[in-house]
């Protein structure tokens, strides 16, 4: 079928992206789903730093690539071996599928799926291969492809498009009462940030939780910690507007990194969600005796941080890496949906802007500027149906 999607043609373009336009919104051909796959009409897709990290070159991926890994939509078709999803169901995309058989899948979320990671790195789906094809030349130089050639998938999802074919293990069904925009944000921001608190940090009654970096993932960690009600929650960020938002969402305090360090603030659980070395150092410095630093940010591969190892030994402190919030999506997404349903997890508050697919380059600029918490691309079903019809 013919779809419309946002394809990254070049990595490492200079900013502003609104001028250099590394991402092109184009028509592509999408194959039918294979036996273990489903076709999903995308309703909403979040714009995340993991998308930006491919655009700016911090995460090298094969191009051209149809971006987007945080999305939700309706099932339109299922493969011959998929018997637990129905056409019309709303599903949340999970950007790391779990095969359920490898050593990583046996760790209850602590380690990523080995097969899922390999397919993601190759720009393929879990069953192998790609389902996307260019309808006109894309890319430049050695990365150029012609009409009919394959286009890479992003993290098994490629949600910046009107439709996607994904593996059954890349989606989790949610009830219709969960709006599409909320469902989309559950799939990455909440799964990652919330899991950093629930699965990795595990605060006890009375524990203070500090979150360093208040983007989409960090703010999701903050509202999850607030929802637990176990102790004060403190947000740390360099952007005053984000600090104000953290207070509105229930933080007991909101401080700049300098203010937090100068005040001698420490906490039993500190979550680092900024994805840069200085933020990691700040998070370690704010971790108290016997405490745990949970790092979920994804810095550049060349980034280096300086910490004092003696503090880890003498003060019995722990540093934990948490990829995708140490989550098992099929287990955790329904939990977060229920917390939202009960009014405990205000996921809507994470959405700082709604935008169109055509403005995806501008959305990347806003993300790089540090101004956005979570921008969501909203798809209009009627407009897309009219486009395909004529």
Residue 79 — φ and ψ, nearest 5°?
Answer: -70, 165
Residue reference for tokens 């028509």: 27
pLDDT tens for 220-233 read 999 999 999 999 99
Q: What is the pLDDT of residues 130-175, one digit of tens each?
A: 999 999 999 999 999 999 999 999 999 999 999 999 999 999 999 9
- pLDDT above 70 covers a percentage of the chain that reads 97
With 60 as the cut, is the pLDDT of residue 69 above it?
yes
Residue 340, pLDDT score: 98
User: How far is residue 172's CA from residue 220's CA, in Å, rounded to a whole number?
Assistant: 19
**C-beta separation of 267 from 208 below 8 A:** yes
Strand order in the sheet with 209-212: 253-255, 233-236, 209-212, 267-272, 287-295, 318-321
Percent of the chain at pLDDT exceeding 90 = 94
The set of long-range contacts for 142-148, using a CB threshold of 8 Å and a minimum separation of 24, is: 143/9, 143/10, 143/62, 143/63, 143/64, 145/64, 148/29
What the chain holds in terms of domains, given with CATH numbers, is 2-174+352-389 (3.90.180.10), 193-322 (3.40.50.720)
Cβ atoms of 27 and 2 closer than 8 Å:
yes
Please state which of the ranges 54-58, 155-159, 197-201, 386-390 shows the lowest mean pLDDT. 386-390
Residue 6 host element (H or E): strand 2-8
Helices (H), 210-347: 216-228, 240-248, 257-262, 277-285, 309-314, 329-341
């Amino acid at each position: 079928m013919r779809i419309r999607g946002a394809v990254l043609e070049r990595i490492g373009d200079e900013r502003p992206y609104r001028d250099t336009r590394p991402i092109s919104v184009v028509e592509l051909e999408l194959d039918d789903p294979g036996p273990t796959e489903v076709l999903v009409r995308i309703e909403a897709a979040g714009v995340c730093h993991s998308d930006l990290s491919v655009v700016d070159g911090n995460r090298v991926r094969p191009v051209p690539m149809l971006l987007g890994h945080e999305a939700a939509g309706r099932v339109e078709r299922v493969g011959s071996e998929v018997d637990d999803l129905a056409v019309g169901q709303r599903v949340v995309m999970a950007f790391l599928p779990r095969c359920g058989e490898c050593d990583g899948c046996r760790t209850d979320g602590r380690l990523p799926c080995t097969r899922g990671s390999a397919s993601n790195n190759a720009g393929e789906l879990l069953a192998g291969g790609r389902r996307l094809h260019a309808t006109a030349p894309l890319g430049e130089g050695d990365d150029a492809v012609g009409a009919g050639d394959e286009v890479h998938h992003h993290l098994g999802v490629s949600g910046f498009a009107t439709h996607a074919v994904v593996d059954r293990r890349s989606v989790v069904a949610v009830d219709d009462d969960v709006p599409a925009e909320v469902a989309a944000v559950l799939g990455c921001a909440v799964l990652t940030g919330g899991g950093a608190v629930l699965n990795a940090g595990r605060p006890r009654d009375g524990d203070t939780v500090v979150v360093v970096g208040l983007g989409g993932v960090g703010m999701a960690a903050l509202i999850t910690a607030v929802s637990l009600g176990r102790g004060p929650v403190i947000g740390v960020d360099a952007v005053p507007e984000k600090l104000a938002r953290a207070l509105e969402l229930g933080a007991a305090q909101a401080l700049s990194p300098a203010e937090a360090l100068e005040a001698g603030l420490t906490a039993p659980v500190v979550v680092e969600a900024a994805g840069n070395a200085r933020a990691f150092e700040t998070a370690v410095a704010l971790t108290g005796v016997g405490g745990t630093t949970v790092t979920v940010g994804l810095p550049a591969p060349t980034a280096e941080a300086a910490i004092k190892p003696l503090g880890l030994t003498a003060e019995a402190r722990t540093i934990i890496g948490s990829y995708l919030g140490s989550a098992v999506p099929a287990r955790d997404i329904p939990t977060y949906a229920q917390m939202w349903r009960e009014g405990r997890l205000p996921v809507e508050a994470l959405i700082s802007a709604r935008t169109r697919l055509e403005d995806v380059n501008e959305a990347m600029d806003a993300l790089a500027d540090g101004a956005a918490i979570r921008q969501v691309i909203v798809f209009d079903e009627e407009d897309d149906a009219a486009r395909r019809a004529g």
